[in-house]
Amino acid sequence: MILMDEFHPTGRQLAAARALAGLTQGDVAEAARISIPTLKRMEASEGPAAGMANNVEAVRRALEAAGVEFIPENGGGAGVRLRK
């Protein structure tokens, strides 16, 4: 079992999660209390989301609060889905 506190989402996961939740970059940035350019840099990252760990965590938590679940790499590929 992977503890979410040890999980580092990728930039693509953040972008996919935001789109899946139907949120704008402004919505997520406001909820995470970061700037839109900071979120854009995170989402554009190849591999783990770039940025200060506390900011990446704030974005992850904002997206989870919007109903997104992050799926870590488990041999089938990392991803996101909406909670039931």
pLDDT one-digit tens code per residue, 13-54: 999 999 999 999 999 999 999 999 999 999 999 999 999 999
Whether the pLDDT of residue 2 is over 60: the answer is no
Are 70 and 19 contacting, i.e. CB atoms less than 8 angstroms apart? no
pTM of the model: 0.88
Residues in the chain: 84
Domain range annotation of the chain: 4-82
Please give the CATH number for the structural domain made up of 4-82: 1.10.260.40
Residue type, 18: R
What is the Cα–Cα distance from 43 to 25, expressed in whole angstroms? 10
**Amino acid 3: pLDDT:** 42
Mean pLDDT over all residues of the chain? Answer: 91
Percent over 90 (pLDDT), the chain = 79
